[in-house]
Structure 1
Amino acid sequence: MSKHDEIRMDQQQLAEAWQRTLPDTINEGDRATVLPDEADSKTLRVTIQSAGHQAYNFDFKVVYVDSREVKSTLIDVEKDGRTVDERTDIIQQLVHDYTRHIHECAQALHGLTHA
């Protein structure tokens, strides 16, 4: 990452901006929580709770590659507090959708992160 394209924003402020913006990019009824990663200042922890009877919790690690691009990694999927098999078709589809929504949120926040 070149010096001129690094994020120029406090991690806590960035997490708060994500917390405000991500609910606008995910599916209606889903809920999102965004927190700073205490171990890495360029990383956010994103939890998305899917709506409906499935009620899955998806935990993602979101790392800024540069001021515009993020890399999101699925950490865990839980249902009723228990880890579930992430390889099922429904979960893979949801992971794909949420990954896209995470990238849309990063794009929406580019005006803030590329100050």
Structure 2
Amino acid sequence: MTGQTFKVLPETCLQPVPSRLIPKSSFTSDRSNELTSSFFDAEDGSVNAGIWECPPCKMHIPSYPVNEMMTIIAGRLIITNSEGNQESFGPGEVLFVSKGSEMTWQITEHLRKYYMTAN
């Protein structure tokens, strides 16, 4: 395997395409137009990285599908965990979500984030 190093800038990513990470049935509001621009996909699908974005909406995720580290680029996200605890995240903040976590996401401003997922 040959190593790759590259600078990641939002404007250098590929054209956004509809995201399939979160099932449409998880959205509890009308808007579910999530998009992703991937800039790295491991051949075996075990690691992915890119930019994800979504307009304001709300979604309940009974079991988060991947381990994910993300950095908010723009917008605001409120996460409520299964115990009812809430945290708010905005530009420049970094968070980690572990696979299998139950949570509700409320996106209050159009959200853009860098992400890296691992299965």
Q: Return the TM-score normalized by structure 1.
A: 0.33
Question: When you count strand as a share of all residues, which structure comes out higher?
Answer: 2
Question: When you count helix as a share of all residues, which structure comes out higher?
Answer: 1
Q: Return the TM-score normalized by structure 2.
A: 0.32
